[in-house]
Structure 1
Amino acid sequence: MGLEGWGLVVGVVSAVAAVVPICIELYGRFTRGRTSAPAPPVVNPGGEYDVFVSYAEADRGTAETLADRLHAEGLRVFLAEWIGPGLVESLEKEAALNASTNGILVFSATTMNDTAIRDEYAALIGRAHTGGRLFVPVLVEDVELPPFARIRRPVDLREPGSTRFDQGLAALVRSLQPRSDAT
């Protein structure tokens, strides 16, 4: 093989060496999307729920974690964050509130500063009084509860990862699980 032949071999090897890392990167990008964590449940328009989760925007992450745990326990959970594209958030919230057996409100320092959450709180309390539905205050920070929440036994989830947190979550799940009429 002459000098020109070796030049051609070196050129081909260089081209392959330049293209292989690009192909590996592209393959990684395409497969990463397929192996990511499962998407959260999507709100079922007109569906029934075991629990309506109310939370202030500042507590979105905490509410999502809580809702994921409740959903993993087999509960049908409504979380506004799970409302799908094309749906009207306020209408879905109202329909879910009417179709939920129970309601919980995540309480932190910002909760009662949000007018929409104050409305949800009033609706949840009203349903507890008139419809016999359960309303559970969930503490995620050390805050004083408003009067109508204070008269209910709250669930303490202020210390994620602690025994108290795990016990509180287990108690919450038990209280929200559908009850059998066969007693």
Structure 2
Amino acid sequence: MVLEWWELAIAIVSAVAAVIATALEVRERLSRRRTPSPSPDPPSPEPDGRYDVFVSYTEADSESAELLASRLRTEGLRVFLAAWIGPGLVESLEKEGALLASANGVLLFSGTTMNDSAIRDEYAALLQRAHSGGQRFIPVLVEDVELPPFARIRRPLDLRNPGTPEFDERLATLVRAVRPRSDAS
């Protein structure tokens, strides 16, 4: 029995497709078996309960907040981030205590910021602390949005493009602004 060239081509293509399908199935089964690697533990609270920076953000901006807070910590700053609150603690009480114990407040502004009632409360508290002279309030843009009036009168920081030299320069400006005076060199 002699096979025509097209019959041979169909047989080869079918065999290759069967091998690929089997490989994909094996890969899918293996990926289901793998246990996810544990995420690193969040930083522990500062021992004296004082912070250089309180970072306020919506859940939608958590990735930007984590990036910013991590970078600030690598610069030696004491940072409060709600995502780092330990298990068993009351989030609103921890946030309130950290806000009062922070020298500076940073609020990330995006399209979702002012739609979140808890963040509006934090915004009001940050403004009140800034007006009473107890804290610097720094609006930080993480998206192209119009700032509310009381944030607009302050000099906002544009951190919309992570991974760029401009982002790093602006982050350095933020670090200089929030670094405790005794640490500044």
From 167, 173, 176, give the equivalent of 1:174: 176
Q: How does 1:1-150 map to 2 (within 5 A)?
A: 38-44=40-46, 47-150=49-152
Task: Give identity over the alignment, percent.
Answer: 70
Q: TM-score, normalised by structure 1?
A: 0.77
Give the Å deviation of 1:44: 4.4
Q: Report the counterpart of residue 157 of structure 1 in structure 2.
A: 159
CA contact (8 A) 2:110 2:143 kept: yes
Give the Å deviation of 1:40: 2.4
Q: In structure 2, the residue corresponding to 1:67 is in which secondary structure?
A: helix
Q: In structure 1, the residue corresponding to 2:127 is in which secondary structure?
A: helix
Distance in 1 of aligned mates of 2:175 and 2:44: 20
Distance in 2 of aligned mates of 1:75 and 1:181: 10
User: Relative to 1, partners in 2 of residues 1:168 and 1:94: Cα closer, same or farther, differing over 3 Å?
Assistant: same
Give deviations 1:128-147, integer Å, cap 9, x for gaps: 00034210001011000011
Distance in 2 of aligned mates of 1:110 and 1:125: 19
CA contact (8 A) 2:55 2:80 kept: yes
Give the Å deviation of 1:75: 0.4
Distance in 1 of aligned mates of 2:124 and 2:138: 13
CA contact (8 A) 2:103 2:134 kept: no
Q: In structure 1, the residue corresponding to 2:73 is in which secondary structure?
A: helix
CA contact (8 A) 1:127 1:133 kept: yes
Unaligned runs of 5+ residues in structure 2 are 1-29
Distance in 1 of aligned mates of 2:103 and 2:148: 22
CA contact (8 A) 1:45 1:92 kept: no
Superposition misfits of 4+ residues, deviation over 6 angstroms: none
Q: TM-score, normalised by structure 2?
A: 0.76
CA contact (8 A) 2:50 2:102 kept: yes
Unaligned runs of 5+ residues in structure 1 are 1-24
Give deviations 1:140-161, integer Å, cap 9, x for gaps: 1100001111011111111111
Q: In structure 2, the residue corresponding to 1:94 is in which secondary structure?
A: helix
Question: Which moved further from structure 2: 93-102 or 128-137?
Answer: 128-137
Give the Å deviation of 1:127: 0.3
Give the Å deviation of 1:66: 0.6
Distance in 2 of aligned mates of 1:168 and 1:50: 18
Q: Which amino acid letter does the alignment assign opposite residue 65 of structure 1? A: L
Distance in 2 of aligned mates of 1:168 and 1:136: 12
Distance in 1 of aligned mates of 2:102 and 2:137: 11
